[in-house]
Structure 1
């Protein structure tokens, strides 16, 4: 394909993605597809797992249980956030509150 054709396809895809929102941010009123944000830190999780594996024999496997617990905590406490402002006040597109925000934004 020619580069002009590729640019046109990229532009069409970006416009399609912009029109396919699933949520509305209650904070900044953006039309968004929210992100999942895990609690804790990935770097800390790696450090905990390395330490757990190094200490597995002296602690009789208890360190692995602690590392597993931290991993479970990180993934079960994931939050839905707005990619624009980072707020956790994310509303489904079809909810009455989101519809009110959309009507208010259209009136402006």
Structure 2
């Protein structure tokens, strides 16, 4: 019995210690204003849970988000008062470029495509 516990504990430590697969994107990396490459969308990450989206059809509409390893969980929390369940979207940040993949799952207020944003200075 002790041997099984020791093996289980060792395996857990080995898995927890492997940080190569972890993505180390922080909220600070997202904070600020991001403008889509085609200039049709602007998103502004204001806190560790809030961002606002502006486009031709939306003006500073509120969303909530959570970083989940390599994905963002995004939920609409804006002016239209519609019940929309949060959706999860893979994303990548490379310095001042943010890519969010909305092509796999529909996200309220966003086009169903991969959108690239550039950070505004």
Q: TM-score normalized by structure 1?
A: 0.26
- Per residue, is there more helix in 1 or in 2? 1
The structure whose RCO (Cα within 8 Å, separation 6+) is larger is 1
Q: Which is higher, the Rg of structure 1 or of structure 2?
A: 1
Q: TM-score normalized by structure 2?
A: 0.24
- Per residue, is there more strand in 1 or in 2? 2
